[in-house]
Chain A
Amino acid sequence: VVGLATVFGAGGGTSSYREIEEADVIVLWGSNARETHPIFFHHVLKGIRRGARLYTVDPRRTGTARWADVWLGIEVGSDIALSNALAREIIHAGLHDRAFIERATSGFAAYAASVEPFTLEEGERLTGVPAAAIREMAHTYAKAPNSQICWTLGITEHHNAVDNVLALINLALLTGHVGRWGSGLNPLRGQNNVQGGGDMGAIPNKLPGFQDLETMPEARARFNQAWSCEIPPKYGKNLTQMFEAMEHRELTALYVIGENPARSEADAHRARALLEGLEFLVVQDILMTETASLANVILPASASWAESEGTVTNSERRVQRVRKALEPPGDARDDLWVITQLARRLGRDWGEVTPESAWEELRSLSPMHRGMSYERLEALGGIQWPCPDESHPGSPFLHGRLWEEEESKRGPRAPFSVVAHDPPVDVVDAEFPLRLTTGRRLDSYNTGVQTGLYTSPLRRPETIDMSAADARRLGVQEGELVRVISRRGSVVAPVHLDDSLRPGLVFMTLHFPDQVETNILTIDATDPKSGTAEFKAAAVRIERLAPVLA
């Protein structure tokens, strides 16, 4: 979202699901959507059925890749090299959209110069993907009437996550595949309401409606007035910066709502030590998480699905009503009630706050939500922002302004970004010869807090997945327990043979921290711009537990 916000002034995927279904080319980059975004993947399948060509860019030949017309199995962390090689080929073949670049973008000359070294051969050398496949993808992506690029954590869980996203945005700017029906750039979200959290200002640098804390003083003034207080005019800390602040004892009290950082942070040893060192920890959650077990105060919350009233925003920016069907169990309380009560104890009585009254306040302060009354949300089956007034139908896609004939309506130009190929921090060498990448499976969600309670016929315990060739070389068998060692720690896990992996590439999930704490191995080399750690690239070696008898 940081990358999209930097280039276009607004975060969030640009396109509707419907546009995915009607695209000619769909690129899933760093996304195993078949397993991790199965509902979104249904839209992809509809597109495929209508004839869309699917490209997947992923080190693993995943279930998603098996649906693809072309799988480009890049080396972990070589996304920018691939993107730059695609761009150079597009430019050299004359397939870039000169008129669009001229009118709606800036910085093309510097960008074109920066990708010049990335010949197809250099692309092949850096990514491993044959030059012919890079060339074919470049031509098809550029020439198609409508092309979509969608990505997930394979792009963002790297030390240079924002640069990765910028590299993808460059491709869309280069070919004019953004701001039009059917073409776009879409980060896929892990939860039904990640987008909604951002919409509501639950990010350290934005007020609700993505109004910037530092650069939009008039917006801040409106909030000051509405809330009769003075909002500090500076950005807050993202999660990574908070952990750094804990390390410096600058931050000593933490209020955690619906997160499980004791489990989900890279380098879990360090994360837990820091949480344990806090003076005061409050956790508000629907389940007794690992983090909650460290807390001084636990506030049991109702689930936002079925037990709460309000709205959610999905990946296509569609705000939808959700309704309460059940009373939450025991002492669990609605988040809104908990926060209101907390405010009262802290000396601020907000009176009776209902989901709708909170929503009405948001509409009065966030221009992009202004046209979305509860009544209209209900009548239209959800509305996609921006929706500035009650006669506005909502916006299926973003940044259409870039295609306006009149320069005044076109708004600020979208800048190309010069991004350098910068391989993973954790280097593969003789001592740690295997590249470990992490990810998710269909039947489990993140650390398993929400899915672990339910059985699934597909679920199998944590394993260290590897190619049959690596297993042969290491002399290990399916199911055999081995020690996986990184520069930060080691875990023990059983071997699982997986033909989606090439020799040298191994894979683990982070679904079963109670059995195998994968994040002991991962590196918290973090992108300074997004605060995301490089979960996708660690260097490891694997040792047999039992000594081999001669």
Chain B
Amino acid sequence: MDLRIAPAEPTPLERAAIDAVVGAQEPRSAHVALGGHAARERHDLLLPALHAAQAARGWISREALAYICDRLTVPPADAYGVASFYAMFSLQERAATVAHVCDDIACRANGSEALIADLERRPRDPAWEWHRSPCLGQCERGPAVLLQRSGTGAMDEAIAPADAGAVAARAANPAAAADGPAVPQAGSPELRLLRRIGRIDPASVDDHLANEGGAALRKARDLGPAVVIAEIKASRLAGRGGAAFPMGVKWESVAAASVRPHYVVCNADESESGTFKDRVLMEGDPFALVEAIALAAFAVGADRAFLYVRGEYPLAAERMAHAIRESRARGLIGELEITLRRGAGAYICGEETALFNSIEGKRGEPRNKPPFPVTHGLFGKPTAINNVETLLAGLEVVRLGGAAYAGVGTQGSTGTKLFCVSGTVRRPGVYEVPFGPTLRQILELAGGMREGRSLRAVLLGGAAGSFLTPDEIDVPLTYEGVRAIGASLGSGVVLAFDDSVDLDAVVKRIARFFREESCGQCVPCRVGTQRQVESLDRLALTAAADSRRREIALLDDLAGVMRDASICGLGHTASGAVRSAIAKLGVLGGGS
């Protein structure tokens, strides 16, 4: 690690953008300079500074990188390592506007390859370029495109559904902000987390206050932190991010930790293919999330919270930033400082410890656990990290009372759950139900398959989940229900494929996804995800029984190694969907 920073001058635009993040530069003195601990403590400004440089010029120039390093006392090798970690950052010059075109599994079921074919036929325009992208979290309205813009006042923008003409037009002329999310169940009295979405103005703090806004937090303050945690424990609320860890236990551990300060982190980096519920919640009801974060901070004794929004969600980030500002200004969250950080395109940053590293301005590589975040989380301090849906459910618990909340749903799965239903259903979208209904009922809620089509398979839990056959859709979508058939709810993805979808291509896309999103830190995952892709390619080409047996054995072996020896969940789950598709659906010729 060294601090050799080549003297280099960023452009005035780059300098201004970076200074807006790290502060204006003092004139350099010939005889004194301050730095050291004070400068290194600002290391977490690296990611926002890189965002600023990227947005200013459309790519991160060597000069801009050197300037950031100089200002934050970051060795250039470190900063390069961070900048090159994220898909939305470019270290090579490129067009001012870049269209990230989703070719992931949900959009694939909704015409993304046709869109890409159209784009390939268009003459090249020097003002913009396009690239294939993994899931952009717009699955209910694919095919989706994210326009990443640069220059003064540039705003990124999602286009969904997109066609080639719209992409070209919007790349040239930014349109007004995109529409807010649609909730198919809008108006239903049974909705809890979704009940205000579409009914209130997400930009209006007054609308928020006029619709019960702030009530749960006020109640919590009357109860005190200990009672709040007792209520959460009584509710048996389980984390909705995938691991289903009891939230009350987590909060209790952080609140009890003697090391200070405590942090709250809201994980809004949902990047699991087919997941978009947190985007809908943030775009549709941002003030509720601010209140929910404040509730968590109050319960665990934190003065500072971070909200980490995935980089592909510009509208959610904008609305959350506005809601945080307004909530502060109106005194709704007291002195709590909520810092919004945008990710920059890395699936792995949804893993909690990778997310901490990302906030801290390091490469978003997961840490070994233990120690766990409740004792060694963000900046090495006790940290309560929950995803958006879980935090909002916490607000519901306080509103209803722990015992009443526990009465909703089933014995093992309390409360309501959001499902991200997409693929080839008639009415894709986020659905909220009390735990209990079967997968069949959820699919029916979304209108079932389109006219003349029949269900071929459901991917439950996203790329990290597993495939279910039409015979298995009577499983109740509860934690205990899916566990009984060896599946997992994951983040609540219900991705349906009818008989028109090329499942071979879907499975290979999933394998490619893991290969590309593996952070490369640990060998089993870095090598295993690549070997899995290669094996699937061979499997697709061979019918010889001996060869197929060898490949299947290899895939099993890889799955075992990745499950046993990877540091984080990415490696643990990288083979689940692939193996279930081959074994249960006969994809790529089948085999067991």
A interface residues with partner B (beta carbon < 8 Å): 34, 48, 51, 53-54, 61, 63, 65-74, 127-130, 133, 468, 497-499, 502-503
Contact = CB atoms under 8 A, between A and B. Distances in A.
Contacts, number: 63
Interface of B: 2-5, 7, 29-38, 73
Contacts of A502: 30-31
B34 A498 contact: no
B37 A71 contact: no
A53 B30 contact: no
A61 B73 CA distance: 13
A182 B73 CA distance: 27
Contacts of A499: 7
B34 A69 contact: yes
Contact of A133 (B4, B32, B73): B32
A130 B32 contact: yes
Nearest to B32: A133
Nearest to A469: B30
Contacts of B31: 72-74, 127-130, 133, 502
A503 B28 CA distance: 12
Contacts of B32: 70-73, 129-130, 133
Nearest to A52: B37
Contacts of A67: 3, 35-36, 73
Given A69-B38, A128-B31, 18 more contacts: A61-B33, A63-B4, A66-B35, A67-B35, A68-B33, A69-B34, A69-B36, A70-B33, A70-B35, A70-B36, A71-B33, A71-B35, A73-B29, A74-B31, A499-B7, A502-B30, A502-B31, A503-B30
Nearest to B9: A468
Nearest to A63: B3
Most chain A beta-carbon contacts within 10 A, residue among B4, B33, B37? B33
B52 to A, nearest CB: 22
B37 A51 contact: yes
A233 to B, nearest CB: 49
B71 to A, nearest CB: 12
A63 B2 contact: yes
Contacts of B37: 48, 51, 53, 69
A343 to B, nearest CB: 48
Nearest to A467: B30
Contact of B3 (A66, A73, A130, A468): A66
Residues of B contacting A: mostly: loop
A73 B33 contact: yes
A398 to B, nearest CB: 29
Contact of A497 (B3, B7, B34, B36): B7
Contacts of B4: 63
Contacts of A497: 7
Given A66-B35, A67-B36, A128 B30 contact: yes
Contact of A53 (B3, B5, B36): B36
Given A127-B31, A128-B31, A68 B36 contact: yes
B32 to A, nearest CB: 5
A124 B37 CA distance: 25
A68 B37 CA distance: 8
A55 to B, nearest CB: 9
Contacts of B33: 61, 65, 68, 70-71, 73
5 contacts: A63-B2, A70-B35, A71-B34, A72-B32, A499-B7
Given A66-B73, A130-B29, A468 B7 contact: yes
Contacts of A71: 32-35
A54 B7 CA distance: 24
B76 to A, nearest CB: 12
Nearest to A128: B31
Nearest to A505: B30
A208 B3 CA distance: 42
Given A63-B2, A130-B29, A70 B34 contact: yes
A34 B5 CA distance: 14
A33 B87 CA distance: 38
A191 B34 CA distance: 31
A502 B33 CA distance: 12
B35 A69 contact: yes
Contacts of A61: 33
A53 B29 CA distance: 20
Contacts of A133: 31-32
A129 B4 CA distance: 24
A71 to B, nearest CB: 4
B198 to A, nearest CB: 51
B34 A73 contact: no
A67 B38 CA distance: 11
Contacts of A128: 30-31
A74 B31 CA distance: 6
A71 B3 CA distance: 15
A70 B73 CA distance: 13
Most chain B beta-carbon contacts within 10 A, residue among A51, A66, A499? A66
